[in-house]
């Protein structure tokens, strides 16, 4: 299926007309070009809790690459600590329904117009839940100390 962008005049905007990513992602030379664009696509879809759940096919279409390239990019972003992935399954079944991606470093408030910073995962790589992220932001601290 070929990608067909929606004409701007027909868009019913539910989000700002732009998408932001952390500068550190651009500055990090370990991040491949595909991982960078995949992260940008994920940021496009995030909710106020920095979470999204687009299908791999949708990410691939929007990132203009293959599903296998998207999967490799997601694995790279997870390994580097920029995103987390939680697999959801149907109740009482092992059938995969979707994946929830959380962008580490973003906590969006309102409709995405304000971005608060969080400075990453702790040395042990423990994933923080949203209440821990909010605590870090409200107290202007990171898990590594003051911002």
Question: Once rounded to an integer, what is the mean pLDDT over residues 43-52?
Answer: 90
Rounded to whole angstroms, what are the CA distances from 117 to 10, 45, 60, 140, 147?
Answer: 33, 18, 27, 9, 9
Phi, psi dihedral angles at 95 (to 5 degrees) = -70, 125
In a domain, 2, yes or no: no
Q: Which residue has the higher pLDDT, 130 or 116?
A: 130
Rounded distance, CA 69 to CA 122, Å?
Answer: 28
Structure tokens at 64: 């203009």
Instruction: Report pLDDT for 90.
Output: 81
Domain range for 30: 22-146
Instruction: Report pLDDT for 129.
Output: 55
Instruction: Report pLDDT for 116.
Output: 40
pTM exceeds 0.75, yes or no: no
Instruction: Report pLDDT for 20.
Output: 83
Instruction: Report pLDDT for 123.
Output: 41
In a domain, 109, yes or no: yes
Q: What is the mean pLDDT of the chain?
A: 75
Rounded distance, CA 60 to CA 50, Å?
Answer: 20
In a domain, 1, yes or no: no
Q: What is the pLDDT confidence band of residue 93, given thresholds at 50, 70 and 90?
A: confident
Q: What is the pLDDT confidence band of residue 131, given thresholds at 50, 70 and 90?
A: low
In a domain, 6, yes or no: no
- Nearest-5° Cα angle at 13, 7 to 16: 110
CATH of the domain at 111: 1.10.10.10
Rounded to whole angstroms, what are the CA distances from 45 to 30, 60, 143?
Answer: 24, 13, 26
Lowest mean pLDDT among 50-54, 79-83, 115-119: 115-119
Rounded distance, CA 78 to CA 48, Å?
Answer: 20
Instruction: Report pLDDT for 102.
Output: 94
Q: How many domains does the chain have?
A: 1
In a domain, 30, yes or no: yes
- Please state whether 134 falls in left (phi above 0), alpha (psi between -120 and 50) or beta: alpha
In a domain, 4, yes or no: no
Q: What is the pLDDT confidence band of residue 145, given thresholds at 50, 70 and 90?
A: very low
In a domain, 108, yes or no: yes
Rounded distance, CA 118 to CA 77, Å?
Answer: 16
In a domain, 17, yes or no: no
């Amino acid at each position: 299926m070929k990608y067909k962008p929606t004409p701007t005049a027909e868009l019913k905007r539910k989000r700002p007309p732009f998408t932001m990513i952390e500068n550190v992602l651009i500055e990090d030379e370990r991040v491949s070009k595909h991982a960078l664009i995949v992260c940008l696509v994920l940021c496009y879809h995030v909710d106020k809790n920095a979470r999204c759940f687009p299908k791999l096919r949708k990410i691939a279409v929007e990132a203009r690459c293959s599903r296998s390239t998207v999967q490799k990019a997601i694995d790279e972003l997870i390994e580097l600590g920029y995103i987390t992935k939680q697999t959801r399954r149907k109740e009482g079944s092992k059938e995969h329904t979707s994946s929830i991606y959380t962008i580490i470093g973003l906590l969006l408030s309102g409709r995405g117009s304000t971005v608060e910073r969080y400075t990453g995962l702790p040395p042990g790589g423990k994933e923080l839940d949203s209440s821990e992220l909010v605590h870090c932001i409200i107290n202007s601290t990171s898990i590594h100390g003051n911002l």
